Amino acid sequence: MPPHHKFVKGWSAPWFIAQAHKIGKATAELVEKIIDSKRHPERGFRAALGVLNLKKLYPEDRIEKAAARALHFENLSVHSMKNILAKELDKKPLKEKLQRQPLLHNNIRGKHYYNQ
């Protein structure tokens, strides 16, 4: 990114991850994945800052649980973190991801039909 696009001097991926580590391990992992998901790491700084700013509204233990839930369901955004916290989903236990089971029905053709 060009120098005039830098928002604040000193912002870097390691700085955001270190700040998130102060909240917890899951939060740091979420921030790291958000930053890594962008083509240019600087584009992830705003989202990382959004996660860190949730400390103004919620206790750190709730943010940590929400980050764990977001990671579990692969929802890597500040928006999903806000929804988890607002709906108090962080207080509910995590369930295992559901594995898609093949639909079994007499009227559905399977792969054997197309191999003829």
All structural domains of the chain with their residue ranges: 7-93
- What pTM was estimated for this model as a whole? 0.74
Q: How much is the pLDDT for 115?
A: 75
Write out residues in the chain with pLDDT < 50, as ranges: none
Q: How much is the pLDDT for 87?
A: 94
Q: Which long-range contacts (CB under 8 A, 24 or more apart) does 50-56 make?
A: 50/78, 50/81, 51/20, 51/27, 51/78, 51/81, 52/16, 52/19, 52/20, 52/23, 54/78, 54/81, 54/82, 54/85, 55/23
Q: How much is the pLDDT for 39?
A: 85
Q: How much is the pLDDT for 2?
A: 59
